Amino acid sequence: MRFRHRAAAGFATLLLPLAGLVGLASPAQAATSATASYAKTQDWGSGFEGKWTVKNTGTTALSSWTVEWDFPSGTSVTSSWDADVTSSGTHWTAKNKAWNGTLAPGASVTFGFNGSGSGSPANCKLNGGSCDGGTTEPGDSAPSAPGTPTASDITNTSVKLSWSAATDDKGVKNYDVLRDGSKVATVTGTSYTSTGLTAGTDYSYSVQARDTADQTGPVSGSVRVRTTGGTTEPPPTGDKVKLGYFTEWGVYGRNYHVKNLVTSGTASKITHINYAFGNVKNGQCTVDDTYAAYDKAYTADQSVSGTADTWDQPLRGNFNQLRQLKTKYPHIKVLYSFGGWTYSGGFGQAAQNAAAFAKSCKAVVEDPRWADVFDGIDIDWEYPNACGLTCDTSGPAAFKNLSQALRNEFGPNYLVTAAITADGSSGGKIDAADYGGAAQYLDWYNVMTYDYFGAFDKDGPTAPHSPLTSYPGIPQEGFNSADAIAKLKAKGVPAKKLLLGIGFYGRGWTGVTQSAPGGSATGAAPGTYEAGIEDYKVLKNSCPATGTIAGTAYAHCGGNWWSYDTPATIAGKMTWAKNQGLGGAFFWEFSGDTANGELANAIDSGLK
């Protein structure tokens, strides 16, 4: 039902100029004073995550690096980060990025990749020489991952951490302790007390081992710790959820960034953010646009904290900005949303091994670089056992099974939610999957009560895309919020687990002569990013509302006819949601609102 996939298709071209920067790296140097070591950091059966560490062991600076290796047939790299990875048959080559090629004496750099298959690298070369100064095989192995730390003796300002030891073929020398992805200490034992913390604050800790050659192994799992004491800003509406979607690709053409939530005043009006979207590939959760997610550098004036990113900091991009936002607004919870219209085709394969899928998702959410950023996961499957961009035939039980596997893997301390269809028609999409049975495993449903009607039917009839109720002449019975919510309640979903969806955009037609709904049209009205769709912040001035129908505003200006929600119609919908006992509301998506966040404010005010 949602149009966001259209915007996603356009941002790939914006990344192309970055590829050209790789050519700035200086020519490769001899590798006699550098080493490259490999570690498999995760394995989920059908695939794995690998990490290479390049270390300058010489006395002069290394200005570039190239690591080469061979994989056995059937093993390959599917995605990578912090290096440019290419292949020729079974031979793989990784070259430094423009910003991480220079290594001072004693310095090291890591790059990683996701792979398919089960093979290990062989015939390693670093800048044309051996990876350890000896043979062309990887030499001294890196240490294994230590055990996930456990936390004890938590106070306002400190916490004690303990973990099980790592192993290494030549011995473990010490351990790096990481807090929120950054190293805070190196210790020789398997415990550490972290001090100087802030009361009432969330932290994430993990550890990694170093061997006698100073090679680092994979990072352990992370433990989430909240110090005692302090004061936490309460959610702005008490027990009601107010959630907005933040789009990963919005940082490009839309020029919408996490800081906009602060400058618009929206951050103080919401309780949750869904970060959209992670991809679903080969039955696994993956980060989609790694540059926007955790690599894009922000200047001081662009960042939430007012501090500029540096080239060597462990985390940049949207994830780091969300971390800064949560520091400033500690009541906000962030969920990583996977799927969406474009990426829902991967859920069918994921449902075939739901436990492995859930494990891969948790590995992404708990990546030590950003484990403190995310408080849960949102699954946006459009649509289980029904048709969206593609048609799914997983069966009516697949969605429930997937939801159960996610809850089993994530446990009770994470939020697990789902965005679902709002097709309330008889025999429609709500009837195609066991949403009632799945509800026991989920904290709530984001019911997508928008996109019911639009210029995908180019001839009309014109109709509000987000009707609250039915009305005489509605083009399709069951296509309205009230019918969808009623059907979900009838299937056993508690009202408090249902959030009403609001679109921060309108849908419109052109060639319309009739002001009232039900008119004929000749096609889609012009839109900034896509024909037939426009942001509220534009429509409120370019085509002001001329009437309301079924709780939604509509506007007729020239030959164009639009429907969209306004602060006034949102107030009515929030009153309805409260009267229905719903858990709150959510909206797609932040950038459609005005610079002063008037729609988000209407949701906040309406749910009080």
Q: Which domains does the chain have, with CATH numbers?
A: 4-9+233-503+566-606 (3.20.20.80), 26-130 (2.60.40.290), 150-226 (2.60.40.10)
The answer to whether 589 is a known catalytic residue is no
pLDDT: which is higher, 180 or 447 = 447
Task: Quote the percentage of the chain above a pLDDT of 70.
Answer: 91
* Six token digits for residue 94: 């990784």
Nearest-10 crossing angle of helices 354-365, 398-410: 40
pLDDT: which is higher, 204 or 506 = 506
pLDDT over 70 at 22, yes or no: no
pLDDT over 50 at 325, yes or no: yes
Model pLDDT, residue 232 = 43
The stretches of 85-218 forming alpha helices (DSSP H) are none
The stretches of 374-443 forming alpha helices (DSSP H) are 398-410, 435-438
Q: Left, alpha or beta for 213 (phi > 0: left; psi -120 to 50: alpha)?
A: alpha
Cβ-based burial of 12 (10 A; exposed 0-12, middle 13-18, buried ≥19): exposed
C-alpha gyration radius of the chain: 26
pLDDT over 90 at 293, yes or no: yes
Mean pLDDT of 510-534: 97
Residue 556 pLDDT grade (very low, low, confident, very high; cuts 50, 70, 90) = very high
pLDDT in tens, 251-280: 999 999 999 999 999 999 999 999 999 999
Those residues whose C-beta lies under 8 Å from the C-beta of residue 253, and which sit 6 or more positions away, are 7, 10, 11, 14, 529
Model pLDDT, residue 102 = 87
Work out whether the CA dihedral 531, 533, 535, 541 comes out positive or negative. Answer: positive
From 68, 248, 382, 589, the catalytic residue: 382
pLDDT: which is higher, 246 or 1 = 246
Beta bridge pairs of residue 151: 161
Cα–Cα distances in angstroms (integers) from residue 173 to residues 178, 188, 393, 448, 526, in the given order: 17, 7, 53, 54, 64
Distance of alpha carbon 287 from alpha carbon 132, whole angstroms: 32
* Six token digits for residue 559: 């030959």
pLDDT in tens, 56-111: 888 888 888 999 999 988 899 988 989 999 999 899 999 998 888 888 888 889 99
Residue 238 pLDDT grade (very low, low, confident, very high; cuts 50, 70, 90) = low
Burial string for 481-504 (b: 16+ CB within 10 Å, else e) reads bbbbbebbbeeebeeebbbbbbbb
Dihedral of the CA atoms 434, 440, 443, 449 (nearest 10)?
30
Shortest CA distance to 370 belongs to which of 254, 284, 278, 232? 278
Cβ-based burial of 391 (10 A; exposed 0-12, middle 13-18, buried ≥19): exposed
Greatest mean pLDDT among 8-17, 112-121, 382-391 lies in 382-391
According to DSSP, residue 550 is labeled T
Distance of alpha carbon 93 from alpha carbon 77, whole angstroms: 11
Model pLDDT, residue 392 = 95
Mean pLDDT of 492-521: 97
Shortest CA distance to 493 belongs to which of 555, 568, 417, 567? 417
* Six token digits for residue 148: 């996930």
Cβ atoms of 64 and 29 closer than 8 Å: yes
Residue 449 pLDDT grade (very low, low, confident, very high; cuts 50, 70, 90) = very high
Cβ atoms of 333 and 415 closer than 8 Å: yes
Distance of alpha carbon 414 from alpha carbon 417, whole angstroms: 10
User: Mean pLDDT lowest for which of 166-175, 293-302, 532-541?
Assistant: 166-175
DSSP run (H or E) holding 14: helix 12-19
Rounded to 5°, angle at Cα 500 from 494 and 506: 160
The whole-angstrom distance between residue 144's C-alpha and the CA centroid of its chain comes to: 28
Distance of alpha carbon 18 from alpha carbon 560, whole angstroms: 40
* Six token digits for residue 596: 């002063």
Cβ atoms of 587 and 502 closer than 8 Å: yes
Distance of alpha carbon 123 from alpha carbon 560, whole angstroms: 65
Cβ atoms of 498 and 559 closer than 8 Å: no
Q: What is the value of pTM for the model shown? A: 0.71
According to DSSP, residue 415 is labeled E
Residue 37 pLDDT grade (very low, low, confident, very high; cuts 50, 70, 90) = confident
Type of residue found at 308: A
519 C-beta neighbours (distance < 10 Å), count = 17
Distance of alpha carbon 200 from alpha carbon 516, whole angstroms: 54
Model pLDDT, residue 230 = 66
Burial string for 178-192 (b: 16+ CB within 10 Å, else e) reads bbbbeeeeeeeebeb
Mean pLDDT score across all residues of the chain:
88
pLDDT in tens, 113-157: 988 888 888 888 888 887 864 333 345 677 888 998 988 888 888
Q: Which residue has the tokens 């729609």?
A: 599
pLDDT over 60 at 2, yes or no: no
Shortest CA distance to 586 belongs to which of 598, 604, 569, 572? 604
Beta bridge pairs of residue 208: 176
Strand segments (E) across 57-119: 66-70, 76-81, 84-88, 91-95, 108-116
